[in-house]
Amino acid sequence: MDKRTKINEILNEIAGKAISPAADESLFDSGLLDSFALADLVSVIEKAFDCKIPDADLNPRKFDSIERIESYLEDHGK
Amino acid sequence: MPFLREFGSYLPERIVSNAEIGAHVGCDAEWIKNVSGIEQRRFAADDESVADLALRAAQACLEKAKLSASALGMILIASGSTERQFPGPAATVAHRLGLDSTPAIDVPLASAGTLFAMSLASRLCDSLGEILVIGAEKMSSVVLRQPMERGVAILFGDGAGACLVSPTEGKARVLGSALHSDGAFAEDLRLPFDRPLEMNGRSVILQASRKVPRAISELLGKHGRKAADVGTFLMHQANQNLIDRVALALEVPADRFYSNIARYGNTSSASMLIAAAEWAESGWPAGEPVCFAAFGAGFHWGALLAQVEA
């Protein structure tokens, strides 16, 4: 499964329904996810991609869109 | 070995409904309840100061403990909403309690201030004697600053809480505490002089929902306990959704976390001790471990573990 498909699956899981945001669409400003879902999103990304995201990297902007999540994971060798 | 001897609190009379505060910022009462768990909050009168609120909580606590203020070895007052840069309310409250040389220290940490002050008090009371810790906030003076911001205005309320920490006697024994600070996110929750409070809510929630459960687990582990062993968690009442999230992360039922946020909103440094005072009203459950926890601007966060005497 490619990275983007995996991220989309995670987003559907967190949202509790099928959502299909554009790759550059803000997941939070758009209202697709609320602020509390951000913490869930980060936890699920850690499990799904077998990585530990340090607190210092927990800037909401880094996880605000599919593109940004992809970019973060690529920067960290995932 | 330090003890928690008694709690006290004071809430201003005026009740401000979600409908009233929502009308200022263009949102409805139900939305406020859904995003925060808050149904109403208290606002102090125009002529009530942070020191006024703190004094009332201090008097309530001392009265319950049947202790004269003259027996205090120190006063610590946490607040993030004081009316002036200095002096803070500590010296004023000490003076109004009739004290003229007892050290009185301000702890301007906002939401986590009371937890830090309780931890300091538990470490200092062996040499200083009885220490009165107070958290007092007049957040209405902050949230009503123009331009009002929706995500901030709906959250906060006014009030004060107090805790008497004793080196010799009390209803619960303090087992230990874990305190942490990280200035990397200092800009994400700040109150500039004479401007509205600025908050990156997503960052606050993200950091708090990870750091608070970790601090609690770290502290409990150090004392050979698990979250499931704790009878009651008395956490800073920031947002019901955050409290529920911390409970979920610790895998304990949400009702182990005492909550009064629906009635008082987020009273910043005062909230944890207002909750503690209400919790104590129904009796201190013998032998039960109690865990305090807070997170706030700075970021500062941590936890304190106590055990009610058998």
Best to test chain A binding among B35, B36, B182, B206 (most A CBs inside 10 Å): B206
Report the residue of chain B nearest A56, measured CA to CA. B184
Q: What is the pLDDT of residues B70-116, one digit of tens each?
A: 999 999 999 999 999 999 999 999 999 999 999 999 999 999 999 99
Q: Give residue A35's pLDDT.
A: 84
Tokens matching residue B156: 């906060």
Q: Is A22 on the interface with B (CB under 8 A)?
A: no
Each domain of chain B, given as residue ranges in start order, spans 3-166, 172-308
Which CATH number does the domain B3-166 belong to among 3.40.47.10, 2.10.60.10, 3.30.420.40, 3.40.50.1970?
A: 3.40.47.10
Bond prior to B253 in cis (omega within 30° of 0): no
The domain of A23 spans 3-75
What interhelical angle do B18-25 and B29-36 show, nearest 10?
Answer: 100
Residues 6+ apart with CB under 8 A from B288: B231, B232, B307, B308
The ipTM of this complex is 0.89
Nearest neighbour of B205 by CB, restricted to A39, A55, A59? A39
> Residue B206 and residue A58: Cβ atoms within 8 Å?
yes
> Residue A36 and residue B184: Cβ atoms within 8 Å?
no
Which DSSP helix (H) or strand (E) runs through B8? strand B3-10
Q: Give this prediction's pTM.
A: 0.95
Q: What is the pLDDT of residues B199-256, one digit of tens each?
A: 999 999 999 999 999 999 999 999 999 999 999 999 999 999 999 999 999 999 999 9
Residue A34: give its domain's CATH number: 1.10.1200.10
Domains of chain A: total: 1
Question: What CATH number does the domain located at B172-308 have?
Answer: 3.40.47.10
Tokens matching residue B269: 């440094």
User: What is the CA B137 to chain-centroid distance, rounded?
Assistant: 9
Q: Using DSSP, state whether B43 is helix, strand or coil.
A: strand
Report the residue of chain B nearest A33, measured CA to CA. B202
